[in-house]
Amino acid sequence: MSEDTILYLIKNVLVTTVVLAAPILVLGLAVGLLVSIFQTITSIQEQSMTQIAKILTIMGALFVLTPLLLRYLVDFSLSVLKDLSRWLA
């Protein structure tokens, strides 16, 4: 494998990781921010409220997005495996 091939593969792995993680992390961040704003407005200082809301949101997002994220990961894996014989030659 050449240096260019390794850098190309590392770049694609990092991009794939960001694409797979970003939707779930952004939803968790948004829900945490909304709950924090709600807590500030109502003067409720309950720590578990934020955690429960984030957990439920992330579980729902995983339930909804898993087929799409899995398809993206399978396509990436197939493209790497397809190009593997060319890289090793």
Q: Would you state the pLDDT for residue 5?
A: 86
**Domain range enclosing 14:** 3-88
Q: Would you state the pLDDT for residue 22?
A: 95
Number of structural domains found in the chain: 1
Cβ atoms of 28 and 57 closer than 8 Å: yes
Name the token pair of 81: 């495996």
With 80 as the cut, is the pLDDT of residue 89 above it?
A: no
Residues contacting 74, CB < 8 A, separation 6+: none
Name the token pair of 20: 């797979």
Residues contacting 53, CB < 8 A, separation 6+: 31, 32, 35
pTM over 0.85: no
